[in-house]
Structure 1
Amino acid sequence: MNRKIHVGIVGTGFIAQTMAKAFLTEPDYELHSICSRNLDTAAAFRGSLNLTDIAIYDHLDTFLAQDGLDMVYVATPTTTRESICTAAIESGKAVLAEKPFRSAESYLRLVSLAEKKGVSFLDATHFVHDPRMQEIQQYVDSGDIGKILSFRSMFSFPYDNEGSIQFNPTLEPKGALSDLGWYPLRACFFLKSGEADLSSKLISKRWNNNTGALIGINCTLEFSDGVILNFDVGYDIGYVKQYIEIIGGRESVYIDDFVIPHNNSFVYNKPHIPHAYTLFKGVDPETDINTVECSQSHPPHHKMLHFFSKLYRNDPEAKQMEARLRDQVIGVLRVMDDIFSQSET
Structure 2
Amino acid sequence: MQTKQLRIGIVGTGMISNITAQAINAASNATISAISGRNTETLNNFADQHQIASRYDDWKKMIASPEVDAVYIGVPTSAKEEIAIQAAREGKHILVEKPFADFESLKRISATARENKVAFMDATHFTHHPRTKKIQENAAAQIGTVQGVHTSFFFPFLDRTNIRYNTQLEPLGAIGDMGWYVARAIVEYMPNASEISDIRTFIQRDPQTNAIYRGSGMIEFKDNQISNWDIGYNAGVCIMDLDLLGTEGLIAMDDFVLDWSKGFAFDDENHIAGYTLRKGMATPKDFEYVGSPTDKAQTVHMVENFAELIFHGNGQTIESVIKKAEDTQFILDSISNSIQG
Give the share of equivalent positions with the same residue, in percent. Answer: 29
* Between 196-205 and 171-180, the greater mean CA deviation after superposition: 196-205
- The residue aligned with 2:255 is 257
Aligned mate of 1:333, from 329, 332, 335:
329
The alpha-carbon deviation at position 32 of structure 1 amounts to: 1.2
- The residue aligned with 2:197 is 199
Distance 2:215 2:78 in 1: 21
The alpha-carbon deviation at position 97 of structure 1 amounts to: 0.6
The alpha-carbon deviation at position 84 of structure 1 amounts to: 0.9
Per-residue CA deviations over 1:268-288 (Å, capped at 9, x if unaligned) read 111212212111112242774
Note the 1:31-42 alignment, pairs <5 A. 31-42=32-43
The alpha-carbon deviation at position 157 of structure 1 amounts to: 1.4
Unaligned runs of 5+ in 1: none
Per-residue CA deviations over 1:85-126 (Å, capped at 9, x if unaligned) read 111111111111111111112112111111111111100111
TM-score, reference length from structure 2: 0.94
Matched to 2:39, the amino acid is N
* Between 293-302 and 18-27, the greater mean CA deviation after superposition: 18-27
Q: Which has the higher contact order (CA 8 A, sep 6+)?
A: 2
* Between 79-88 and 279-288, the greater mean CA deviation after superposition: 279-288
Distance 1:330 1:189, change over 3 A: same
Matched to 1:333, the amino acid is Q
Distance 1:27 1:250, change over 3 A: closer
Matched to 1:136, the amino acid is I
The alignment partner of 1:45 has SS state of helix
Per-residue CA deviations over 1:108-154 (Å, capped at 9, x if unaligned) read 211111111111110011111111111001112x3441222221110
Distance 2:207 2:284 in 1: 49
Distance 1:25 1:325 in 2: 23
- The residue aligned with 2:245 is 247
TM-score, reference length from structure 1: 0.93
- The residue aligned with 2:85 is 86
Aligned residues: 340
- The residue aligned with 1:268 is 266
Verify the 8 A CA contact 1:282 1:288 in the aligned structure 2: no
Off by >4 Å, runs of 4+ in structure 1: none
The alignment partner of 1:54 has SS state of coil
RMSD: 1.8
Unaligned runs of 5+ in 2: none
- The residue aligned with 2:173 is 175
Distance 2:119 2:171 in 1: 27
Distance 1:195 1:183 in 2: 16
Note the 1:138-149 alignment, pairs <5 A. 138-140=137-139, 142-149=140-147
- The residue aligned with 2:66 is 67
